[in-house]
Every structure is written in C-alpha cells, then in structure tokens.
Structure 1
Amino acid sequence: MAYTHTVGGERFRFDDLRTLLARASPRRSGDELAGVAAASARERVAAQLALADLPLQAFLNDAVVPYETDEVTRLILDTHDAAAFASFSHLTVGGLRDALLAGTLAPADIAPGLTPEMAAAVSKLCRVQDLLLVAQRCEVVTAFRSTLGLRGRLATRLQPNHPTDDETGIAASLLDGLLMGAGDAVIGINPATDNLPQVMRLLTLLDNVISQYGIPTQSCVLTHVTTTLEAIRRGAPVDLVFQSIAGTEAANRAFGIELALLQEARDAALALRRGGLQVMYFETGQGSALSSAAHHGCDQQTLECRAYGVARHFQPLLVNSVVGFIGPEYLFDGKQILRAGVEDHCCGKLLGLPMGVDVCFTNHAEADVDDLDSLLTLLCSAGCNYVMGVPGSDDIMLGYQSTSFHDALAMRRMLGLRPAPEFEAWLQRVGIFDGALALADGLPERFAALLEAAP
C-alpha cells in the first residue's frame, strides 16, 4: 500500500510501510549508506506527517520484512497480544505518541500489544525530550542475584576485559571496579578469543570471585551462544547466556544463530537453577543488519526495534544497545550517536525490556567524551537500567571508548541514584560504601589484605 503527503505544494509518495518508516527516520549515515534515507528535510517531514496519521492497525497488515521468509517477522506477528492491543488499537501513530506523552496510557499495560515497528514509528515522531519523558515512565524490573531496574537505581556492568585474557589483568580490573561500586548488573567479560577451554577458565574465575566474596551479582562471558552451550554441557558455572542479536532472520544467520538455538540455550541455563528465571543477556546495535547486507531495504532504527522483539520473547535479565560501537558508517558523529542511544533506550523500555546502553564510540567516529557525557546524563535521567563500567573508559581489548567506573559514580551522586539494593547492602557491609552514595575513606580491610598479598 502506498502513502502520500503534501508539504509546501510538493506531493511525496512512499510506496510501502518500509519506505515510509525509512524516510521518516531522523538523519543518520547508515540509512544514507543503504540508500533508504529521505533525500531532503522536506521529504522527511512529509513522511513523518504521513506516519503520524497512520492507524496502528496497519502494522499488523503490512510487514516490513516478508512473513513467509523471515522468522523474526513470524515471531512478532504470531506472538502479538491482541488483548493488550485492544485498549489502544483505535489510535494512529501520532495519537499513540500524544497519549504516551500525556500519561494516559500505562507503558506496562500496552507493552505486550506493541509491535517493534509501532515503537519505532512513535520514536520517529519524537524529539529527544519526548523520548526521555516516555522512557522515564517505564519501569522494567528483572532479577537474578541482584534486582535491576527499580526506580531510583542505576546499575553497572563491570567489564574487566583484557587483550590476552590474562587472569591477573582481569582480576586487577575487577577489583578496581568493585572498589568503585561497579558490577551490580553483571560482571561480564568479552573474551579475546572464542576458545572453549579459555571461556571455561574465565567462567570459573568469575564464579570463584562471586562465591568467595559473597557478591550479590551474576557473571557472564560474552562468547557465542554455541560456545556457552558446550560449556554448560561440560559443567561450567554459567549464570547468563549471552548473544548478539539482530532484527531479521538473515542478519541473525550472519551471527550464526536462529530462534530455536536461543531457546535451546535458555532452557539449558534455566536447568542449572543458579539464580532467577531471567537468564539471557542480549546486545544489539543500529546498523548490524546492514553490515551483513540483511536489512531488506529497511532503516536501521526500525530493525533495531525488531531485535528487541527477538529479545522480548526470551525474557532476558539484561539487554543493551552498543550504540556507537559499529562505527561512523552507521552513526557518523556525536549527534547521531546521542539520538540513537536515546531512541534505543526508549523503544526497548516501551517494548518491556530491561534496557541498558553501552554509551560508546569507536576511535574513528566524529565524537568525543563530551558527547558521551551528554548521552550518559540524558539516559540516567530517563531511568536507564544500567551502563558500562570500563577501566579508565578505554577498552583496550575491543578498542573503543565507553563509560568508566567514575562515570557511574558521578551519575549516582548527581542524580541521587543508588546501586541495586542487594549490591548496595553488600557494598556497605564490606566497607566499600560509607552511606548510600559515598565511597568509604581508605581500602576495606579485606581488600587491603588482598592487595598486600599480591606479588
């Protein structure tokens, strides 16, 4: 079905829903690279006005990626909650935006009835301020050993990566992070290689630290899901199963996965009974489908939301967009990265996901730490569930810039945010925190002894 709108006497035509969504997207380099972006600001405005008048029911009748050839589309439509949709099915995209901003719809009630494409469409009509307000109204709580997503809380992933997976180097970064109050979302290592014996050693290292010090958190080694499955079969102490995911079947195939494999991994992790029922950790990023030529002519933000549709099905503990990691080919500069990060957080939350964001950029992007500070502050003010904690904000293994342990401390102090409740109690009990948001003077006795014993 074609859509049209006239702006300033000029009539614009959009051949289908996929094209309408792409032309309505705020400018970004990935869509221009794919040849799907609006050719002018006037065309973009025309597409946004046409999109605003589009009934939400249209998203159930016009798939942006063909149902017959894409299992992600089938998942989205076959599991759509018609009962939850009924309460707002009369609205247009613009009407849904207005209702969300006015607070007349409860995000938790409508989330099961929203398709990812609906969430993407609403976000394309929003300013940054609108996206922050809508996201702030969404509370998505998950739990394993720590409870994440509660209002007034900000968690961190402690990311002690090392370029050679050296256990001493990892332990040093781990201690540094814990002493700065990081790690309540997860202690998660990106291994330098997808080597099963090494992955199992890292899993054992993290499990020993968590057990020995009674830390109320969970661990994850961010290796391919098939490696984690084999580690589980061999008896490794796996808390969370990690996988990067995308918004089309073809893009997921490029990652070496399909939905059935994710279900197998979730079932295997649940069978271990190591914590709660939410055992999956997913990462996403705008541009991932285009990078594998699997975008089907869609814009990257719509496909990012479809990745959230995949994540939602598996009831994850953690989901985060790695917003600037794929590079300037997809998000060119600090402005595009900021907009995308705020979109990702808002859309993920609207769809009922426990959304965090890796506020980051690669070293060849037109961005700097001021851009990261701006995005980080906006996200934390809007209730982002968690952010990354990287030593010195420079991940020397992955080669990109993210947020540091100090950044999370600054956000907690500035905005009055606290760690996850179980983790906060542990920080106070072992003497790392003196009060809710203050680091204690000096090293806690137990950790001081550990440093003295080090070679």
Structure 2
Amino acid sequence: MGYRVAAGGTSHLFADLRELMAKATPLRSGDQLAGLAAGSMQEMMAARIALADLPLRTFLHEALIPYEEDEVTRLILDTHDAAAFAPIASLKVGEFRDWLCSDAATSEVLAKLAPGITPEMAAAVSKLMRNQDLILVARKCRVVSRFRNTLGLPGRLAVRLQPNHPTDDAAGILASTIDGLSYGCGDAVIGINPASDSLGRIGELLRLLDELIARFDIPTQGCVLTHVTSAIALIGQGAPVDLVFQSVAGTQAANTSFGVDLSVLREGLEAGRSQKRGTVGDNVMYFETGQGSALSANAHHGVDQQTLEARAYAVCRAYEPLLVNTVVGFIGPEYLYDGKQIIRAGLEDHFCGKLLGVPMGCDICYTNHAEADQDDMDTLLTLLGTAGVNFIMGVPGADDVMLNYQSTSFHDQLYIREVLGLKRAPEFEAWLQRMDITDATGRLSATQGGQALLVAIPGRAA
C-alpha cells in the first residue's frame, strides 16, 4: 500500500510505516549507517507532510515490528489504555502536535493521557516538532517517583552521584562520593558502575554505600549498576540492594543481547520490592537506555533509532521505575555524530519519556572521538533544565575515569540551579541543611559543613 505524497513538484512514495517514520526523522549518523535516513531534505520534509496527516489510530493497527515476533510490541499493544487514549483518538499526528503545544494540554491532562500513548505515537509527533516544542511540552509533563526521597517535583532537579573508580577502590569511591555530597549531589542515587562483575566485589560495594547512607542518615538510595540477574542473586544472599538496575532497549532481540527479557525484569522488580528498603515509596527499578543500542546489536528490524528508543521507555514504564535515563552520547559518533545530533536526541528522548509517563533523566555526555565538546553539553544541560528533566549526572570533573567518557560535573548542577532556581529533592535538601552543606537558599554553605563527611574515608582521621 505505502504512503505517497507530492512535495516540491515531486511525488514521494514510502513503502510502509517504518520507512515513513525513518525518513521523517531529523538526520543522524545511526540512521545513515543503517541505510534508513532520508536521502535529501526534500524527502525528509515530504515524509513529515505524510506523517502529519496520519491518524494516531494507525499505530494501534500497523505494528512496526510484528506482534508475533517481538514481546516489546506485545507489551505496548496489550497494555494500551483505550480509555486514556479516547480524548485524542480522533487526531492525526500533526493535530496531536498542535494540541500538545496548546494551553489545553496541561500537566494534569497529560498525566491522565500517558497510558493511552504508545511510544510510536510519541516518536512520530516528536519528528514534527522543533526543539522549542519538545522543551515546551516536556516541561508540562510531571512524573514523580519515590524511594527514600521524592523525585520529579516541579522546580526541582536531582543528581545521580557517579563515583566510579577503575579498580573499584573503596577509598577512591568514598572520596568521590563525599566530594559529590559536599557539592549537594546525590539525591537521585549514589550509583557506581563497577569495574568487576564478581558478585563478591559487587556485594562489597553495596555494603560500602549502605554503611555510608546509614552512618549519616542520608535520605537517598545506593545502587551498583550490575546486571539484573546479579542483583536478584545478591538479594537472595541478603545483600543491601536498594535499586535494581538494568540497561534496556526497544526490541526483544536487543534486550536478548543484554541478557534480559520482560519476565526477568519482572523478577527483578519483585525481588527489589521484597526488600522493603524504601521509606517513602517502592519505586525500586533503575533503567538506562540510549539511541543506537538496537542497531549496534543488529536488532533494529529496519526501524529508526529514535523510535526504538521511545519503545524502550514502554519497557521501563511497565516496571514503575524510580529512575530512567538516556545515556545520550555514550555509544559514539556512529550513532550521534556531533553536538547538534546529541542535543536533538537528548531533547527527543526526554520529551518521549515524559510524555509516556516515565521519570526521565539524562546523562548529558559524549565520547572523545565525537564531534562534540563541553560547550555542547552546557547547551543541552541548559535546555533540559528548562524542559524539567528529573535528574542529571554528577561525575568528578565531568570525566569518568572508569567508563572513559565525558559527562556533567558536580559544579555543573550548581550552575543550572543558580540560573533556573532549581531545588533538590525536598528530603535531601533538608538533610543538606542539617549537615550545614547548604544554607536555607540551597547554595553551598560558607562554613563548608561537608567536611564532617571526611571521617568516612578509610585512613582519614576523625
């Protein structure tokens, strides 16, 4: 059947919905690598014209990846909330974009609508939006999650404190953690990417974080970002697991390459909740995603990388997570070539995640061989702060010495708080004031109260 549209005096034919979606996508290197990108701006605009005229209902009847072949497709369609979808059921994609940008789409209305939106609908409408549209609508989407504190409230920004060490050295990890806490970071999570996959070593790191949090009564959560099956095994051994982590993608085949399926994620959720370690909520899952992961696993089914990324958020949504973040520039320039593509992808990911009801954060990052630099990250940080991102990363010096990529630093969150007046999670904010790390305005205290934390580092005198 296909989709045909005349534009600029030329007739363009798109063979199916997958091709239409791919050709309508803003240019990025991953889609070029996969042979999916539009061949010209004229073809891209023709695809967008055709996409704008497509009824939203189409995505409920024409699956990009066959229902019989993919459990993510089955999840999306089987859990679709028809009642929530009803208010927009008559709209076309272009009309949906106009409505989202209107005053009628309030935060309350968007929250009720989220279960009725499929990731393909979110991806489709994002392809018709300028950056300012993505920011405007995402800012209206509020997704609140809770474990030991409350994340995602209006006017607040949390930070994942990321104290990675190339040899998992306890003193090095604690030094970075205390440095980050003294800058007011850590309310999203204190999260370690371990260098080792040994269950014994991961258990030691979990106990390290648990002891620090308990010693200073910090209203936050710890996480060692190991495979979900490792977390399940450690919970069985009685290890202090706060959050269960897993990287996920938007197709069954890509998730298989990560060593997971939906049933394993459900097992992780149930194991995490069985610990009952949360104090204000039971959102125990932490997911990371990133455009290009399905293509890198040869598991993309001819679907563009941005649409597949949105499908990953449907996977996340099913497990009521505390945190979800796109590690936007981590995979490299093969998928997002330069700063312009990374910025656009970060805004798309945040918009789609929030529209689907996911507590969305972003690792604002790039690899050293990408055509990007820290100025690009400053730009994306400012745009995402304006768009109401739930959390960002706090990495010592913005340079992760274990994962070898560039992210955002402890100092960067001070900048965006000052410029936009963003506060921390309320429980964590109160703790910082009790510890005299920050004052009543949220700025760092002149008395440097964080020095009291130094006693936690092995070898340091009290």
State whether structure 2 residue 61 is matched by structure 1 residue 56: no
Maintained 8 Å contact 2:454/2:460: no
C-alpha deviation, 1:448, in angstroms: 5.7
Q: 2:339 aligns with which of 334, 339, 346?
A: 334
2:232 is aligned to: 229
Distance in 2, Cα, partners of 1:245 & 1:165 = 24
Other structure's SS at 1:48 match = helix
2:23 is aligned to: 23
Q: Residue 158 of structure 1 aligns to which amino acid in structure 2?
A: L
Distance in 1, Cα, partners of 2:13 & 2:456 = 68
1:171 is aligned to: 174
Q: Residue 447 of structure 1 aligns to which amino acid in structure 2?
A: L
Maintained 8 Å contact 2:161/2:177: yes
State whether structure 2 residue 417 is matched by structure 1 residue 428: no
Match runs of 1:4-403 below 5 Å: 4-105=4-105, 106-275=109-278, 276-403=281-408
Instruction: Give the TM-score taking structure 2 as reference length.
Output: 0.97
Distance in 2, Cα, partners of 1:27 & 1:346 = 18
Distance 1:33 1:449, change over 3 A: closer
Distance 1:452 1:252, change over 3 A: closer
Distance in 1, Cα, partners of 2:453 & 2:211 = 15
Other structure's SS at 1:274 match = coil
C-alpha deviation, 1:453, in angstroms: 6.5
Q: Residue 399 of structure 1 aligns to which amino acid in structure 2?
A: N
Q: Residue 5 of structure 2 aligns to which amino acid in structure 1?
A: H
Distance in 1, Cα, partners of 2:20 & 2:386 = 31
1:447 is aligned to: 453
Maintained 8 Å contact 2:178/2:454: no
1:265-286: CA deviation from partner (whole Å, max 9, x where unpaired)? 1001111101022110000000
Q: Residue 217 of structure 2 aligns to which amino acid in structure 1?
A: G
Maintained 8 Å contact 1:354/1:385: yes
Distance in 2, Cα, partners of 1:450 & 1:318 = 27
Other structure's SS at 1:345 match = helix
Q: 1:406 aligns with which of 404, 407, 411?
A: 411
C-alpha deviation, 1:452, in angstroms: 11
C-alpha deviation, 1:117, in angstroms: 0.1
C-alpha deviation, 1:110, in angstroms: 1.1
1:69-101: CA deviation from partner (whole Å, max 9, x where unpaired)? 100000000000011111110000001100000
State whether structure 2 residue 422 is matched by structure 1 residue 417: yes
Structure 1's consecutive aligned runs of 4 or more residues displaced over 6 angstroms after TM superposition are: none
Distance in 2, Cα, partners of 1:287 & 1:9 = 34
Q: Residue 373 of structure 1 aligns to which amino acid in structure 2?
A: D
Distance in 2, Cα, partners of 1:358 & 1:453 = 32
Distance 1:365 1:143, change over 3 A: same
Other structure's SS at 2:101 match = helix
C-alpha deviation, 1:451, in angstroms: 7.1
- Structure 1 stretches of 5 or more lacking a match? none
Q: Residue 383 of structure 1 aligns to which amino acid in structure 2?
A: G
Distance 1:282 1:448, change over 3 A: closer
Distance in 1, Cα, partners of 2:43 & 2:459 = 66
Distance in 1, Cα, partners of 2:361 & 2:393 = 9
Q: Residue 172 of structure 2 aligns to which amino acid in structure 1?
A: G
C-alpha deviation, 1:434, in angstroms: 1.5
C-alpha deviation, 1:437, in angstroms: 2.2
Distance in 2, Cα, partners of 1:121 & 1:197 = 45
Instruction: Give the paired residue count.
Output: 455
Other structure's SS at 1:69 match = coil
Other structure's SS at 1:282 match = strand
Maintained 8 Å contact 1:424/1:436: no
Q: Residue 194 of structure 1 aligns to which amino acid in structure 2?
A: D
Distance in 2, Cα, partners of 1:448 & 1:273 = 30
Other structure's SS at 2:156 match = coil
C-alpha deviation, 1:447, in angstroms: 3.0
Distance in 1, Cα, partners of 2:103 & 2:315 = 27
Other structure's SS at 1:87 match = helix
Distance in 2, Cα, partners of 1:111 & 1:452 = 47
Maintained 8 Å contact 2:160/2:190: yes
Distance in 2, Cα, partners of 1:396 & 1:50 = 46
- Structure 2 stretches of 5 or more lacking a match? none
Other structure's SS at 1:102 match = coil
